[in-house]
């Protein structure tokens, strides 16, 4: 596919430029080209042509990124395996994906029982960056996300899906070139990492990664300031950690600040915009199943903006993506009606990896624009306004029933954060000692008297929506992708009830 020829041409054309800054060490495109070539030669020797899916230990080093590209150029797909994950979870992934070979840059191989390519120990090879001709239906990568049964579910992304994303990204008309400096803050097991390394590599730009042993938010701050980063994609939770330093942060070189992975609060976006006097702030949205992100909304503090319950709009579909909002029976809803956001188009995964039951549950066909179109249920409740912009209401599983009433946890959070101003708060639902649903509120702060907060919330919400329990937790726990870990917050409340 043309995408991989473009990647080859970019690496070859920018050979003396910096490609990566990893733990303070710069690697040129020539280093990347060499590493790709030696790993690729080992793939050719050690992996049968029929083995299309290869495990990759997701380390933060040049060999891990080179392995991804080497696999792509050889017509294969990578499955990232985090060395931080429990061994039992990784074994489940390896078994499900039917992995025979694992590429590992660790000093000591983590899975010696498998066919191993130790990417740091390979002999020399001639530079070979010419991609094999491979169908767009072949897989580019296979990611495993949490499954409700405890078994991770695989999301394969085809080469055509990835190519569709890149085309849609360029269509956003961002002015990006080889002089740009990109942040890559994500584990390779998180699909936002793909945009964070692939887009800059296609332009000959430089990528700055976060070492696993560093405090993520403080290292991001240092990178943005010391290396004058120009493009960042982050999860909104990072802003809560940076917020105490907003008055000190001045980043005039930043051109684009993108956010994805969580709802983006309007109040903190307004504050963040003052730190970036020359940047566009863009809220992008998309599940793993629809290849990285697929809608966008550009925030500009000088014009009107759209939000719901203090959450910035996720905007309109990007090129090649179709969006519909449906009711309980898959009927398309009219403007202003709350329903489930569903996605179709070029970026949509072929379906969950060898899981027909989950595919039947998550994908469906409806008539759309005079033809039968396949859509994916996101699990997100949304509204489309008269302009076609999508307003995020909240996760369907964040909608609960209390005393028979439907309650949106996001609405509770909105009123709590309005009163608390710059203090973060998250509402969760737990079961009390007799099994009834109870609303709890976590506040990211040192302890203080809750009476004024509760008195305020009683003027805005019915009594059944007022939190029964409040915990002060500072800082909120984050998962490996930098998102607030709601499950851990729920566990803390459940412990407090015992």
Mean pLDDT over 290-297 rounds to: 98
pLDDT of residue 404: 61
Percentage of residues in the chain with pLDDT exceeding 70? 96
Considering the domain boundaries, does residue 125 fall inside one? no
Measured in whole angstroms, the distance separating CA 477 from the mean position of its chain's CA atoms is 17
Give Dmax over CA atoms of the chain in angstroms.
Answer: 71
433 and 367 fall within a common domain:
no
Considering the domain boundaries, does residue 358 fall inside one? yes
Position 301 confidence tier, pLDDT thresholds 50, 70, 90 = low
Looking from the CA of 326 toward its CB, the CA atoms found within 13 Å total 21
| Residue 123 tokens, joined | 């002999």
353 and 427 fall within a common domain:
no
386 and 425 fall within a common domain:
no
pLDDT of residue 400: 74
Q: Number of folded domains in the chain? A: 2
Residue 306 pLDDT greater than 60, yes or no: yes
The DSSP call for residue 320 is T
DSSP H helices, 228-355, are 237-242, 266-273
State which residues form the domain around 448. Answer: 403-497
Mean pLDDT over 359-372 rounds to: 94
pLDDT digits (tens, 9 = 90+) for 215-242: 888 999 999 999 999 999 999 989 988 9
Is 425 strand, coil or helix? strand
Residue ending a domain, choose from 364, 394, 424: 394
pLDDT of residue 283: 97
| Residue 414 tokens, joined | 């909105």
Domain holding 452: CATH number?
3.30.300.30
321 and 389 fall within a common domain:
yes
386 and 413 fall within a common domain:
no
Position 498 confidence tier, pLDDT thresholds 50, 70, 90 = very low
Spatial contact of 239 and 281, defined as CB atoms under 8 Å apart? no
417 and 352 fall within a common domain:
no
Considering the domain boundaries, does residue 424 fall inside one? yes
DSSP H helices, 27-61, are 29-46
pLDDT digits (tens, 9 = 90+) for 36-91: 999 999 999 999 999 999 999 999 999 999 999 999 999 999 999 999 887 888 89
**In sequence order, what are the beta bridge partners of 408?**
399
Residue 415 pLDDT greater than 80, yes or no: yes
Question: At CA 270, angle to CA 168 and CA 286, rounded to 5?
Answer: 30
Mean pLDDT over 154-161 rounds to: 97
Residue 340 pLDDT greater than 50, yes or no: yes
Considering the domain boundaries, does residue 432 fall inside one? yes
pLDDT of residue 495: 63
pLDDT of residue 111: 82
Domain holding 363: CATH number?
2.30.38.10
| Averaged pLDDT of the chain | 92
Mean pLDDT over 152-166 rounds to: 96
Residue 148 pLDDT greater than 70, yes or no: no
Considering the domain boundaries, does residue 55 fall inside one? no
Residue ending a domain, choose from 394, 420, 449: 394
| SS3 per residue for 133-170 | CCCCCCEEEEEEECCCCCCCEEEEEEHHHHHHHHHHHH
385 and 429 fall within a common domain:
no
pLDDT of residue 434: 55
DSSP H helices, 204-304, are 216-226, 237-242, 266-273
- Nearest-Å Rg of the Cα atoms of the chain is 23
Q: Indicate the pTM of the whole model.
A: 0.87
* Nearest-angstrom CA–CA distance, 100 and 329: 42
* Nearest-angstrom CA–CA distance, 240 and 300: 20
Residue 405 pLDDT greater than 70, yes or no: no
pLDDT of residue 161: 98
Residue 99 pLDDT greater than 50, yes or no: yes
Position 373 confidence tier, pLDDT thresholds 50, 70, 90 = very high
Considering the domain boundaries, does residue 9 fall inside one? no
Question: At CA 37, angle to CA 32 and CA 42, rounded to 5?
Answer: 130
410 and 464 fall within a common domain:
yes
384 and 407 fall within a common domain:
no
Residue 493 pLDDT greater than 90, yes or no: no
Mean pLDDT over 250-267 rounds to: 95
Residue 410 pLDDT greater than 90, yes or no: no
pLDDT of residue 138: 97
Considering the domain boundaries, does residue 68 fall inside one? no
Residue ending a domain, choose from 373, 394, 415: 394
* Backbone angles phi and psi of 380, in degrees to 5: -105, 130
């Amino acid at each position: 596919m043309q995408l991989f020829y473009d990647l080859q041409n970019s690496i070859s054309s920018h050979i003396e430029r910096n490609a990566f800054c990893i733990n303070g060490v710069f690697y040129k495109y020539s280093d990347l080209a060499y590493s790709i070539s030696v790993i690729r030669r080992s793939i050719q020797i050690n992996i049968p042509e029929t083995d299309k899916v290869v495990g990759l230990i997701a380390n933060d080093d040049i060999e891990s990124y080179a392995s991804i590209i080497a696999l792509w150029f050889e017509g294969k797909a990578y499955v990232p395996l985090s060395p931080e994950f429990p061994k039992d979870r990784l074994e489940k992934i390896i078994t499900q994906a039917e992995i025979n070979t694992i590429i590992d840059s660790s000093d000591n191989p983590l899975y010696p029982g498998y066919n191993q390519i130790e990417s740091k120990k390979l002999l020399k090879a001639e530079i070979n960056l010419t991609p094999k001709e491979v169908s767009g239906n072949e897989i580019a990568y296979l990611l495993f996300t949490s499954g409700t049964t405890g078994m991770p579910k695989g999301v394969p992304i085809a080469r055509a899906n990835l190519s569709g994303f890149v085309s849609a990204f360029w269509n956003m008309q961002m002015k990006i070139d080889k002089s740009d400096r990109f942040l890559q803050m994500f584990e390779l097991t998180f699909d936002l990492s793909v945009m964070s390394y692939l887009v800059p590599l296609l332009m000959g730009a430089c990528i700055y990664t976060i070492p696993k042993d560093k405090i993520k938010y403080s290292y991001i701050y240092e990178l943005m300031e010391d290396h004058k980063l120009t493009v960042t994609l982050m999860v909104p939770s990072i802003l809560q950690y940076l917020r105490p330093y907003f008055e000190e942060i001045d980043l005039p070189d930043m051109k684009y600040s993108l956010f994805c992975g969580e709802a983006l609060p309007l109040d903190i976006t307004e504050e963040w915009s003052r730190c970036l006097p020359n940047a566009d702030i863009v809220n992008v949205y998309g599940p793993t199943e629809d290849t990285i992100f697929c809608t966008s909304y550009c925030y500009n503090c000088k014009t009107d903006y759209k939000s719901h319950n203090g959450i910035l709009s996720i905007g309109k579909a990007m090129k090649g993506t179709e969006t519909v909002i449906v009711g309980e029976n898959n009927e398309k809803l009219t403007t202003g009606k709350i329903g489930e956001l569903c996605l179709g188009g070029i970026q949509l995964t072929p379906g969950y990896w060898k899981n027909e039951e989950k595919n039947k549950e998550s994908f469906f066909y409806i008539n759309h624009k005079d033809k039968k179109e396949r859509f994916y249920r996101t699990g997100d409740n949304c509204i489309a306004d008269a302009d076609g912009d999508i307003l995020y209401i909240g996760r369907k599983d964040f909608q609960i029933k209390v005393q028979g009433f439907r309650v949106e946890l996001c609405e509770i959070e909105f009123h709590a954060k309005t009163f608390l101003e710059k203090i973060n708060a998250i509402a969760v639902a737990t079961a009390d000692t007799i099994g009834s649903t109870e609303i709890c509120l976590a506040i990211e702060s040192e302890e203080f008297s809750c009476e004024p907060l509760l008195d305020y919330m009683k003027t805005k919400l019915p009594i059944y929506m007022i939190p029964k329990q409040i915990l002060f937790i500072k800082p909120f726990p984050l998962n490996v992708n930098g998102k607030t870990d709601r499950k851990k917050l729920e566990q803390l409340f459940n412990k407090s009830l015992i």
